[in-house]
Amino acid sequence: MKPMTLLGGLTPEAFLKEYWQKKPLLIRGALTDVGPHVDFKCLSDLAMQEDVESRLIENRNGRWHLERGPFRPARFRKLGETDWTILVQNVNHHLPHIDKILWQFDFIPFARLDDLMISYAPPGGTVGPHFDSYDVFLLQVGGKKRWQISSQADDDFIPDAPIRVLQDFRVEEEFVLEHGDMLYLPPKCAHYGVALEPGMTYSIGFRAAPAQELATQFLVYLQDHICLDGRYADPELKRSPIRPASVKKWWTKSARCSARLSGTKTR
């Protein structure tokens, strides 16, 4: 495949080999033509709809506050000039030109593509230092945002906070992203973004199902698709040398219980 501006001049093969689920990558000028900007007016209109998942996060005097949509117009009129963020999930389901952006990442298997979330924040707006359990590309659209990242392994979060914010975030690298710049982060890479100017972050996320869920769905698939002939048989059956008393007691109790329910007698 050819080198892609979206990947900073890397081919998809090189990106997957060197960076995917391994280390962060800063890409300057990755994607500048995003069509009509999904600004605060557009996001707030979406956040007032019943079928749209949205959140409003504020930090007031050092305390985190979370509200979930749908919101009323009056709620947005009460917002201050700093220190809040509105986030809207699955914008690609509602705006066709955003869906086109998501599909530019088709060098990743379709089964892994999740959604394109958009957040808007005025200066100081942030959701705090945290990490995600999945891969994400963070595209800056309008304004400027400072991103700090860390490879720290500890995951102690602020107790009783409504969102998962790391208590002890240790900065290792720092970048200021402007319009069109993008930051790729592998799973468990701690990051902290703070808006320096009003602007949007387009977050392209990828599904990462828990191992238990994958195993469960695989077993469901086997149940629905495997068809085996025959029936269990044991022509060489021998008497078990051990019959625990507890099993016998359980069997007797179970039989009596069944008899009471059915109205029959037991020996």
**Residue 139 — left, alpha, or beta (φ > 0 → left; ψ -120 to 50 → alpha)?**
beta
The yes/no answer on whether domain 5-212 falls in CATH 2.60.120.650 is yes
- CA–CA gap between residue 150 and residue 153 (Å, rounded): 9
Domain positions in the chain are 5-212
Strand partners for 160: none
**pLDDT averaged per 10 residues in sequence order, the chain, 267 residues:** 93 97 98 95 97 96 95 95 97 96 93 94 97 95 98 90 95 98 96 98 88 86 88 87 62 63 50
Q: Please list, in sequence order, all residues whose beta carbon lies within 8 angstroms of the beta carbon of residue 167, skipping any fewer than 6 positions away.
A: 156, 157, 158
C-alpha–C-alpha distance, residues 137 and 129, integer Å? 16
- Determine the Cα–Cα distance for residues 148 and 195; give it in Å rounded to an integer: 12
Which positions ≥6 away from 89 have C-beta within 8 Å?
52, 53, 54, 115, 117
pTM (two decimals): 0.82
What is the pLDDT, as a whole number, of residue 208?
A: 76
What's the pLDDT at 265? 47
Strand partners, 166: 157
Residue 2 CA to residue 67 CA, distance in Å, equals: 44
Residue keyed to tokens 């995917």: 20
The HSE-up count of residue 233 (CA atoms within 13 Å, CB side) is: 5
**Rounded-to-integer distance, Cα 256 and Cα 163, Å:** 53
Supply the Cα-derived Rg of the chain in whole angstroms. Answer: 27
Give pLDDT, residue 266: 43
Round to whole Å and give the CA distance between 203 and 102. Answer: 10
Instruction: Quote the pLDDT of residue 253.
Output: 64
